Structure 1
Amino acid sequence: MTHDRKETVPVWTLATGDVRVPSLTGDEPMTAERLAELRSVLAGLAEEPIATLEVHPLPGRLDRGQGIPLDAASPLAQHLSQLITQSARNSVTSATVDGEGLYRMVIPAKVAAQFGQGVIRPMAAKGAAGCFRGALVDSTGKIAGAAKFMPVGQAATAGAVGGAGATAGVAVGGTAMLTVAAPLVLMAVAVGVSAHADGRRQQAIEHITELLEQLQEQELEKEQSALDGCRDAIDKATAVLLDQGKPGASLGLDSAVHAINSALGTADRRLAKWQRALDKLPEGQAVDLGTLTKSFPGIDNPGGIFQAHLELATLAIALKRRVVVLQAVEHAQTHPGNLFANFTRALKRDQQRLEDLESSIIGVLVRLSKLELARPQGLRPPVFTNAEVDRLMRAAHRIHQLGDGVVVDNRPTDVAIEIARDEDGSVVVFPALPASA
């Protein structure tokens, strides 16, 4: 999507607490580069998390199936509507904002790290190497093109700071124009991260289904069924929590969490076996393919058991990420006076195990990708059939590819959460992604 160069894009600066920072926005239009600089400065100066919210026209083509829909009565939709209404009432700048559009919340890297730097990673689009899933369809990946960003001024309103039901307000006392909107930021982060995790779950399910159709492994099919059966409970608990309710035992979330934790335990055990097997290999020497496949069955085959084990681990991690977000939201809403701080603390603490597991799996894949395969043993003099040569070459290529596409740099990046809002006030929240994706 590319906007006209003369188009003005309203942008709000959202704080999650009553903070004081030097006035940096002014009332003049900004470039996209200047806005990015502003985010970094505000993140460094403010004691509370700060985000920006832009509003763009809805694209003609928008795959809403990737996001999580919320009706107009949901807290997130109400907080967004309230922000729009109050801003339009008190600012000439935002008078042209009618509410319908694609709202893009960008959270700086420093803030994104507070809710787990391993949470947000690009999701490759199926059948399109190097492409990412996202709400927008432009080829450049730039949402605003050369549009101008105009800061939106606000006036102070009642209930500026408070719990999940608080209204938006403005931080006062000589500060920059910072709308205090902790509930809106919290809900956007929670739904965006949940949608991102569910996107990874869908990808894993697609891959596992294809693999198990080839392998016909009943035990692995049972593992998949147990994990995929957790989705219904998680979806219902998500809906209840995002309506600021409290999920009860009848939703089945407890049993779902047990199944997910069991799958993570299985992934931990498999990971430990892989690490021990790699540690036993002679350092700096070529490895026989037969020796390698004993510890990593099917590693020379893109549809092998080893790949299925990797996808099952990915599925368990994705489901657990959704559960962790739910637990963090519940914790934050239980303590409304310190809403966003509780959310980030709970989320970051529980994410650590998942980050360690995912990083360790990536470490195994990188180590495997660097292995050199030896010639088959036991042949004196070495005589190879064409089939043996082809298999060895395919296996070498396959093993070297294991390291392709893995994310070994966990440095936090700016995170973008896109929200499509219709005229009736209902919204669709798309998966949170790196802002540069």
Structure 2
Amino acid sequence: MVTVIKTGHSIHRILNYNENKIKEGVAVFMGAGNYPIDDANLAINIKLNRMLKQTALNENVTRNSVHISLNFDPSETSLSKEKLMAIAHTYMEKIGFGQQPYLVYQHHDAGHPHIHIVSIKVREDGSRIDTQNIGQNQSEIARKEIEISFGLVPAERHKRKQDYELTPVATSKVLYGRTPTKRAITMVLDVVLNQYKYTSLPELNAVLQQYNILADRGSENSRVFANKGLLYRILDQNGNKVGVPIKASDLYSKPTLKFLEEKFIQNEQRRKPHKLRVKNTIDLLLLSKKTVRLPELIKRLEKEGIKAVLRQNTDGLLYGITYVDHRTKCVFNGSALGKQYSAKAIQERCGAESASQNKTTFRIKNSREGQRQWDSQDSILKETSTVLPISDLGKVLDQLLQPEQAFDYLPKQLKGKRKKKKRKGQSDNQ
């Protein structure tokens, strides 16, 4: 079982999201906890008002809503309604929400069984439930105990079975025209935005584009960019934008630019412990053979669970590289790892810009007017470029290192005697 916990500012939005799923025919209302009437008589306004009245007891709690999803292994399709409700009740009790009002929905819009739980953070006495690190602490303990007591597939075993595939999102790639746009985008964002650790929009897009989705700020002259807006678009198989874009504010989780910028700051620290794994993997792959070309490096990185996303200009020249580590869910721009891992450095380390192993190029150009050419080397080195085999390199260097002949040299015997200088006070007759 895999758990995802999100907090929000609006009970209305979370409740409407789940109720709209029922209208679309992809979800059912399972039941409630700590409501005064039977589940069958719970109208939407009753579900909502019960929570609104309790959250009003503490207006200082701005993020007062909680939206939880419990995700089960794809093989666990036979879980009954009674068992799912029992799991939900047990989970809420173990994470400290057992006395809170909550609603349980089962969704059928993904490739695996899962339920959604809606609740609030304000207690009946007006105090606030602290959810700081609840996912790593209370939820993780509850998950392991529930897996044992209900005989569920452990999350760890599910990860091992996947063997870190490069398709970590359970949904298939979004194809425009086959799935309702808004729903398809939401399914991918729910996983990527919360599980991956990215620190910029290009890093986030390095993940999203693998599922044919783009977070787009628009051009710098556009109204969207000027107002710090954000659009989510669907891409075709060639990476072209298709269909009508969806505003971030129109999605229930509100993945706006402001929301993402807060994530950027949080993820900067969260991804630090995993930086060394990517660097070491690249270094070891490049050291394992004398020459590893870039396409080969990309394939070998994929086997290690790392996707290298290349950024090229319209002429096909590589100017950037981003590494998506699907094992640790961390994203790193090449320069963030260090100069050795930038696009330019990786090309050089892969030998993309170096000369071939069998030939070396030497260029000799006159840089000063009147410089003499060496006639003895003119047959070997010309003013223009000359390509020489490495076997002849030693001969060339020997000739280049010979001292230049001094044409003003005269033997001692041919030199005239120096005229002695007269001393002061002496005459020629002295």
Same fold by TM-score greater than 0.5: no
When the two structures are superposed, what TM-score results if normalisation uses the length of structure 1? 0.20
Higher helix share: 1
Q: Which has the larger radius of gyration?
A: 2
Return the structure number with greater strand share.
2
The TM-score normalised by the length of structure 2 is: 0.20
